[in-house]
Amino acid sequence: MKKLTVLFCLTLTACSTVKYNYTPESRRFTTPEVETIVSVGLGEPLMDQGRVVERDIIEITEEGEISAYDIKKGKLIKIGEDEKSEFFVQDLLAGYVIHAGIISVTPQPHATIQIKKKSGEFCVNRPADVTVCGDIRFNRSKETVVTNDSFRRTLLYSGKVGNKLKISYREFSNDMARAAFSTDVEYDLNESNIIGYAGARLEVIKANNTEITYKVLKHFGER
């Protein structure tokens, strides 16, 4: 049986205060790279630009128990830290990690996790309850995600009719398409095999109604 140490806060006021002071690193992205030859299908992005963040996470690799809590495999996202501990929340989109209950074991969505820096103990914090700590196996890593509040824009391949090439330009804010900034454009390949929009330039190598092969000459202009 796994050795388990359980620590209880003497009073509710003595329990750890969760910190929400962590800010993940953010960076801009544009794909594909300039001078890259790419093939995409109908409805797929020719070019994509926006902002992503790289955040600290921990991944629980083995299920375990701490007092009345069942700890499942899954991902936890860092939200803050102080001199003694780091604090994490459950990734609700990926599934709950913390479960509890005597008769029926249920997810605990409001439970947060505290990792003690010195001892590495894994502690469960839940509102109006004591904090309990134990030994849970996990790995640290970083995760790259597209921020919901970022500005994002993309060119989509919409097909080819005769020698007319159709491209759709879309802007996104909070992961929602902004209709006022969405445009469908058409290019005559008899005039030129260089197409572009909003500062972006692409050289069309070959295209049909289901796929296009092209080279990126220039990214979108600054916005």
Residue 120, exposed/middle/buried by CB under 10 A (0-12, 13-18, 19+)? exposed
What pLDDT digit, counting tens, does each position of 51-68 carry?
888 999 999 999 999 988
Single-letter residue type at 70: D
What pLDDT digit, counting tens, does each position of 129-144 carry?
789 999 999 999 999 8
Say what the pLDDT of residue 103 is: 72
- Whole-angstrom CA distances from 198 to 20, 49, 135, 185 are 38, 12, 54, 12
Q: Where are the domains of the chain?
A: 29-51+148-218, 62-136
Say what the pLDDT of residue 16 is: 62
Say what the pLDDT of residue 15 is: 55
Residue with tokens 């797929």: 44
- Whole-angstrom CA distances from 208 to 48, 97, 163, 196 are 21, 47, 9, 18
pTM of full prediction above 0.85: no
Whole-angstrom Cα distance, residue 43 to residue 36? 20
Two tokens at 7? 């620590």
What pLDDT digit, counting tens, does each position of 200-220 carry?
999 999 999 999 999 999 999
Confidence of residue 8 (pLDDT cuts 50, 70, 90): very low
Above 90 in pLDDT, residue 35? yes
